[in-house]
Amino acid sequence: MKVLGIYGSIGFDGSDKESYIHDAGATLFIDGEHICSIQEERLSGLKYDGRCPDKSIDYVLDEIPKEEIDLVIYVDIGLQEWVNELLLKGVADKFLQSKFPNADIGFVSHHQAHAYSSIFTQPSNEGVCIVIDGGGSHNWSENSSMGLQKCSLVYFNKRKGKFRYIPFNGEWGLLYQTWAHHIYCTKTKKKISYDDPKYHCSFNGKVMGLASYGSGKHIQKLYEFGHYFPEVTFDMRDPRPYPISSSDKAQLLQYNFEESLTELMLRLDEDYLEQTVCLTGGVFLNINANTKIVQALKNRKFHITPFVSDCGLSYGAAAFGASLWNDVKVPPNLAFLGKEYVTPKEIKGDNLDLKKVAQYLEDGKIVAWYQGRSEFGPRALGNRSILMSPKYKENKNILNEKVKHREEWRPFAGVILKDYLKDYFEEGIDSPYMLYSQTVKEDKRDEIPAVTHVDNTCRIQTVSEGILSELLDEYYKISGVPVLLNTSFNDSGKPIVETPEDAIQSFLNMNIDYLVMNNSIIGKD
């Protein structure tokens, strides 16, 4: 069975306008085995692209004719009532049938797709999944008015094919994003529309980094944060009767977000949570909150994918469709679900020598790292990365100012050999997908200052195998440090590079010293 999962606008009006949704993409399963996943932005070059994912569909199908697709599962975009009306009238069905004439057409809600993307990427047959995002699924009341679902709890039994879907109230995602937009625009003095597709969801991570610069003077708990927009203490229209900096606003927001979300999980744990807990939805890109949750509920086994945001919806749709006929196999590495490319023949470089690359890094050089299958998700996890030594504090500013062209308060992640995790970080949480923030041990902060944030934390990725692990091992032999700075291979406002051509063009246009592409080292001389 060939099953295609699709998320994105599907052009009801026949236009190709920028979409109000974001992170469109496509995923293909064949006989229960994952074949390929891709975000539309990686192919279109438009960050957070939510338009009809035609490029993604062609990408995952490759040489498979559309006539051979057995089932198409489309994620109901569910954000506007008129869209749902159209879906109910069969317009979407007709549109997709024209593209896939021999396929059955099915639909899943936004929150269902989030849940399936997590449930079908972990080995447990039973457990519970919590979905929290800015909003995406629609609910119909008895009078046919539409409400926007933002939080859901799903009990699952994969072996029996049973899923019990329980919506609950909360505004965590929408509240954070709304305030983050306000804080970012105030800080940078930029006038950016909340709905600008080029900035979809980008405010959240930026403000999370800014929060660490707060003075600590204004931290207090806001009553029932997450359930409504409080107008006490922190009103966007009149933040305080006396001045409060943007960094203090960010700190207040992040503090209340972490505290209230952790309290929610503790309340749920009393009555609803089981041994395996899947967390998904854009809210769980907040690494500081993730860390607090895992620490607070040490008796639970958590599963968070690297594609918890809307980019993972196509995976959830396809995996669910595949499960109707086959046992769904979990891919060996959830980080790398895209294609693998060969280096173009016309590109000439030196043969790859990891010792030489490690020495470049120790000497302060900036290395673009391009290997294997592309990442699926918003973060570079070692196949489409920019690497630099973490030993020199100035490297953070060099990358922000001269390479990434982004705000000076933005931190960088570290990638570490798993065997040394507890030597460098207090929490010691295994983090293969860069989803947790951990405290750098006091005696190690001067060793890795470029990845140690102002609050002494670091977003880390742990590795134990593969070519990146081998590079880290060589770097450790030279420097005595089993850590490298790892950031995504892209310039500001651009998606992470996908193809070799993308990588070469970005390398030539950016202030990067070397490009390591598969088995070649390419310089600019």
Q: What is the pLDDT of residue 200?
A: 67
Determine which helix (DSSP H) or strand (DSSP E) holds 182, and give its type and residue range.
helix 172-188
Report DSSP state, residue 443: G
Determine which helix (DSSP H) or strand (DSSP E) holds 321, and give its type and residue range.
helix 313-323
pLDDT digits (tens, 9 = 90+) for 338-376: 999 998 888 888 999 999 999 999 999 999 999 999 999
Cα 386 versus chain centre, distance = 17
Residue type, 447: E
Q: What is the pLDDT of residue 19?
A: 59
Q: How confident is the model at residue 141 (pLDDT cuts 50, 70, 90)?
A: very low
Q: What is the pLDDT of residue 398?
A: 95
The Cα–Cα gap between 501 and 446 comes to 38
Ordered by where they begin, the domains of the chain are: 2-122+306-331 (3.30.420.40), 172-272 (no CATH), 338-523 (3.90.870.20)
Report DSSP state, residue 328: P
Q: With contact defined as beta carbons under 8 Å apart, do 80 and 146 qualify? A: no
Q: How confident is the model at residue 80 (pLDDT cuts 50, 70, 90)?
A: very low
Q: What is the pLDDT of residue 386?
A: 98
Listing DSSP states for 140-166 in one string gives E-TT--EEEEEEEEEEEETTTTEEEEE
